């Protein structure tokens, strides 16, 4: 009888021990899973922060193909060079040049981005901004000259943005990878707090990704199309050029006109404040009337 009781108690203790071990293993697994999620979020944040620290580093230069014997003809344009030109021309026949320049722009596959025409007493002037494919830039620039055309200004600036383009492309790829890791963590998140935290990080990375992608597109377009700021003009009345010093009689005439205009402005100003003038005149009249009455009263009392 005692032996039976002993075996029953031993069996009960064994079952209790096994149940406790299973519960402990389950809690340990859940704890490890939560720690894995937190470590994943922390590592992903650390990797995204490393992208910011990499901003100050220089982008690697593109690898050169040492086995290539001859380089392509347009290999220089793979460097993403933005060219900008400023040209000013004095013309003898404004209308003829204005017509021909628009035809030339179409001929080279370019387009006019902006145009502004002005006219005054001594000249007729037009200022246009031309966007031209980079491979046609030199050819179009060489057409801006000829008989009856005086080149006043011709300036070309070049800006190499290759490093910036490569740097932003590297950021785009890195941010895509970070965003993918956050998406995987979002699927593993169980609590609302973890979901909101991961979603916030995804939104931030997405904004940074779109910004870097937009910068790459902008620089690529600027490098693909060069810019020419062209100003051309013709003097319609050479005797009245703006840089000429006026003569003695011209100065006297201008001084006389300035004086006349000043007197006219003064009279117009007085007319504009006529209510105030009437009020001041009335006050002076009342004051003099009161003062004269006061003097009469004093004399009568004496």
pTM, entire model: 0.51
Q: Angle 105-107-111 (CA atoms, 0-180°, nearest 5)?
A: 35
Q: What's the pLDDT tens digit per position in 74-113? A: 444 468 888 999 999 999 999 999 999 999 999 999 999 9
Range name among 120-124, 219-223, 297-301 with the lowest pLDDT average = 297-301
What does the mean pLDDT of the chain come to? 75
**DSSP structure class, residue 66:** T
What number is the average pLDDT over the span 124-152? 90
Q: Where are the domains of the chain?
A: 76-241
Assess whether pLDDT exceeds 50 at residue 36: no
Lowest mean pLDDT, pick from 1-10, 123-132, 248-257: 1-10
User: Which of 83-92, 163-172, 232-241 tops mean pLDDT?
Assistant: 83-92
Closest residue by Cα to residue 191 from 44, 48, 26, 37: 37
Higher pLDDT, 40 or 145: 145
Residue 243: predicted pLDDT: 54
- C-alpha span between 157 and 299 (Å, rounded): 93
């Amino acid at each position: 009888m005692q032996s039976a009781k002993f075996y029953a108690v031993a069996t009960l203790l064994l079952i209790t021990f096994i149940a406790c071990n299973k519960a402990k293993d389950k809690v340990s697994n859940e704890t490890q899973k939560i720690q894995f999620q937190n470590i994943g979020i922390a590592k992903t944040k650390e990797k995204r922060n490393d992208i910011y620290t990499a901003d100050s580093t220089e982008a690697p230069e593109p690898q050169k193909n040492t086995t290539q014997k001859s380089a392509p003809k347009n290999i220089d344009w793979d460097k993403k060079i933005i060219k900008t030109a400023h040209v000013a021309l004095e013309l003898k026949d404004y209308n003829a040049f204005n017509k021909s320049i628009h035809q030339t722009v179409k001929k080279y596959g370019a387009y006019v981005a902006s145009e502004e025409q002005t006219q005054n007493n001594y000249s007729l002037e037009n200022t246009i901004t031309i966007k031209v494919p980079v491979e046609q830039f030199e050819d179009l620039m060489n057409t801006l000259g000829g008989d009856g055309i005086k080149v006043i200004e011709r300036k070309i600036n070049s800006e190499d943005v290759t490093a910036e383009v490569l740097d932003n492309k590297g950021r785009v790829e890195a941010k895509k990878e970070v965003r993918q890791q956050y998406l995987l963590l979002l699927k593993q998140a169980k609590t609302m707090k973890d979901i909101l935290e991961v979603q916030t990080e995804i939104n931030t990375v997405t904004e940074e990704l779109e910004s870097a992608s937009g910068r790459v597109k902008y620089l690529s377009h600027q490098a693909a199309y060069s810019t020419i700021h062209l100003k051309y003009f013709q003097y319609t009345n050479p005797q009245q050029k703006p840089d000429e010093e006026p003569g003695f009689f011209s100065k006297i005439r201008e001084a006389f006109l300035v004086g006349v205009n000043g007197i006219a402005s003064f009279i117009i100003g007085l007319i504009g404040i006529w209510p105030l003038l009437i009020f001041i005149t009335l006050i002076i009249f009342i004051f003099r009337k009161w003062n004269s009455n006061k003097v009469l009263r004093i004399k009568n009392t004496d």
